[in-house]
Chains A and B, each alone.
Chain A
Amino acid sequence: MLNGFTAVFLREILILKRRFKRQILSMSVSPLLYLIAFGYAMGDAARFDGHTYMEFLIPGLVAMSSMTQAFAIGTDINVARFYWHIFEEFQAAPISNAAYVAGEVLAGMTRALISVAVILIIGLFFKVTLNYYNPLFWLAVGLNSFLFASLAVGLAMLVKSHADQSLLTSFVITPMAFLGGTFFPVDRLPVWAAKIIFLLPLTHASKAIRQTAFGASPGCFSYLLLTAIGIILFLLALKCVGQARD
């Protein structure tokens, strides 16, 4: 049933490999800027959950980056579909929708993991080391990237042009990146805002990622929620592949 899955995955990885330096650079820019601009500016004075802002920020950046990089697989799919017409190769091949989606989602997760590694390394330069050995930290990162890669693949099948795709990024991903508990603690917000933000999957991902990085034990609710949403989005992505035919 997953015949051809490695072909889809390998193709994305080969392209990633060819652009590796550029990719790593672009993955480093925004975390660096945030750390320099906010991390240094806030200094050691303000404490967040008993940590410096720099320490607070890094798990937030991990959550944000794993989301944006996993979601970016959608842009690659779009370029392949509307610009290079490579998607036709997959459509005409004897592979199931599941093989295609699994290959692309895994490629998105790979990008996300690389970007997380980049942030953790940058963090070392800022003398921040957190509890990265915790498998639950990586589980939260994995679930977060699985969820957003699945969302990206599904949406990439539905959009009709490249412009639609960038619209999605600015209306879905950018707001989520700022509101999902990445840059500030959600509990300092007014109740109504906290309620809305509680509904965003990224809020749960950044909470779990931050708690595990701080060595606290996270509640299992966030994990269950991320898993459930991830599975639903993956199944929706499967349905959407058929819709990509005109």
Chain B
Amino acid sequence: MIRIENLKKSYKNIQALKGVGFRVPAGELFAYLGPNGAGKTTTIRILTGLTRRSGGNAWLNGFNIEKEELLAKRQFGLVMQSINLDQELTVFENLDIHGRLFNIASDERKKKIDELLEYVDLIDRKDSLVKQLSGGMKRRLMIARALVHSPEILFLDEPTVGLDADIRRRIWGLIKKIQRTGATIFLTTHYIEEAEFLADRVAFLDEGKIVIIDTPQRLMSQTGAWAIDRMDGDRMETVCFRTRQEADTFIAKQKESYTLRRVNLEDSFLLLTGKKVQC
């Protein structure tokens, strides 16, 4: 369970978070969606003790992130946006050191590491140096590392950024698999389809403020069912419709070329903020 109240963060001259609040119940896969610079990473950094907050408060499984810092830190695993592995050490050593940081007994640690390496399909790379792994493998290793101490909450900051489409799908499969174990997953992304595919609920974050929180299905159905992308002068425009009939009526009046498709989360975001998530 994650609970955040009126969380604020200012850097010297930027207000990165302007009072963010929400709850993520246990077992939910919550997607925190927003364009670059919206404040997604800042939120995760505050919750995980990497950055000091300027105001507000937060609890992880009921533990206050400041007053009960060490207990709060036992609740989560963290996968950061940029690769933060020890490149000169082996796959096993990276996981082993993590296990020791959480004081996991030697036998249990070894067993858990083997289990996780099987889980993320890296068991045959156990003794490879991390710098010899591909980008997708490093990402999987980071996810495995975050799970060594069996946390109830998993923070994933843009877990598929910069990965090829097929590797991205593989990571999505892994995330779904982790959720089925009952973990609460807090995932940030600026890939709309990632949120649409994975999330139980999404929050739209824009310029340090939450615009709306709801399930992807409800957000999309409020936006409509069908969307038409068409050229309006030299600018692309999207129009959404509740029914196919309305869309067809609109199409009948079209002179220029257009595409008809189902509404997606991107359309909802556009409608709510007037902005695109992906650039």
A8 to B86, CA, bound (A): 12
Of B52, B85, B86, B101, most buried by chain A (CB within 10 Å of CB) is B101
Within 8 A of B (CB), among A1-51: 3-4, 6-8, 10-11, 14-15, 18-19
Give every chain B residue within 8 A of A164 (Cβ-Cβ): none
A19 to B102, CA, bound (A): 27
Known A85-B80, A85-B84, A88-B80; judge A245-B51 contact (CB<8 A). yes
Q: How far is the CB of A106 from chain B (nearest CB, A)?
A: 15
Q: How far is the CB of A240 from chain B (nearest CB, A)?
A: 14
Give every chain B residue within 8 A of A11 (Cβ-Cβ): 86, 89, 97
Give every chain A residue within 8 A of B88 (Cβ-Cβ): 15, 18-19
With beta carbons under 8 angstroms apart, the residue of B11, B50, B97 that contacts A88 is B50
Give every chain B residue within 8 A of A246 (Cβ-Cβ): 11, 50-52
Give every chain A residue within 8 A of B264 (Cβ-Cβ): none
Q: Is A192 an interface residue (CB 8 A)?
A: no
Give every chain A residue within 8 A of B71 (Cβ-Cβ): 94
A96 to B103, CA, bound (A): 13
Give every chain B residue within 8 A of A18 (Cβ-Cβ): 88-89
Q: Is A84 an interface residue (CB 8 A)?
A: yes
A212 to B102, CA, bound (A): 43
Give every chain A residue within 8 A of B89 (Cβ-Cβ): 11, 14-15, 18
Q: Is B70 an interface residue (CB 8 A)?
A: yes
Q: How far is the CB of A109 from chain B (nearest CB, A)?
A: 20
Q: How far is the CB of B58 from chain A (nearest CB, A)?
A: 14
Q: Is A124 an interface residue (CB 8 A)?
A: no
Give every chain B residue within 8 A of A15 (Cβ-Cβ): 86, 88-89
Within 8 A of A (CB), among B53-71: 69-71
Q: Is B82 an interface residue (CB 8 A)?
A: yes
Interface range for A: 20 to 34
Q: How far is the CB of A111 from chain B (nearest CB, A)?
A: 16
Give every chain A residue within 8 A of B52 (Cβ-Cβ): 245-246
Q: Is A89 an interface residue (CB 8 A)?
A: yes
A86 to B98, CA, bound (A): 11
Contact B84 A88 (CB under 8 A): yes
Interface range for B: 20 to 34
Within 8 A of A (CB), among B80-106: 80, 82-89, 93, 97-98, 100-103
Contact B82 A93 (CB under 8 A): no
Contact A94 B74 (CB under 8 A): yes
Q: How far is the CB of A173 from chain B (nearest CB, A)?
A: 25
Give every chain B residue within 8 A of A7 (Cβ-Cβ): 97-98, 100-101
Q: Is B184 an interface residue (CB 8 A)?
A: no
Contact A84 B102 (CB under 8 A): no
Give every chain A residue within 8 A of B93 (Cβ-Cβ): 14
Give every chain B residue within 8 A of A94 (Cβ-Cβ): 69-71, 73-74, 101-102
Contact B86 A86 (CB under 8 A): yes
Q: Is B49 an interface residue (CB 8 A)?
A: yes
With beta carbons under 8 angstroms apart, the residue of B74, B85, B100 that contacts A6 is B100
Give every chain A residue within 8 A of B85 (Cβ-Cβ): 84, 86
Q: How far is the CB of A198 from chain B (nearest CB, A)?
A: 41
Give every chain B residue within 8 A of A10 (Cβ-Cβ): 97, 100
Q: Is B48 an interface residue (CB 8 A)?
A: yes
Contact B73 A93 (CB under 8 A): yes
Nearest B residue to A15, CB-CB: B88
With beta carbons under 8 angstroms apart, the residue of A3, A84, A88 that contacts B87 is A84
Q: How far is the CB of B276 from chain A (nearest CB, A)?
A: 29
Contact B101 A90 (CB under 8 A): yes
Q: Is A220 an interface residue (CB 8 A)?
A: no
Q: Can you show 11 pairs from A to B with CB atoms below 8 A apart? A: A3-B103, A4-B103, A7-B98, A14-B89, A84-B86, A86-B85, A88-B78, A92-B76, A93-B102, A94-B69, A94-B102
Nearest 5 CB-CB pairings of A with B: A7-B100, A85-B84, A94-B73, A93-B101, A94-B70
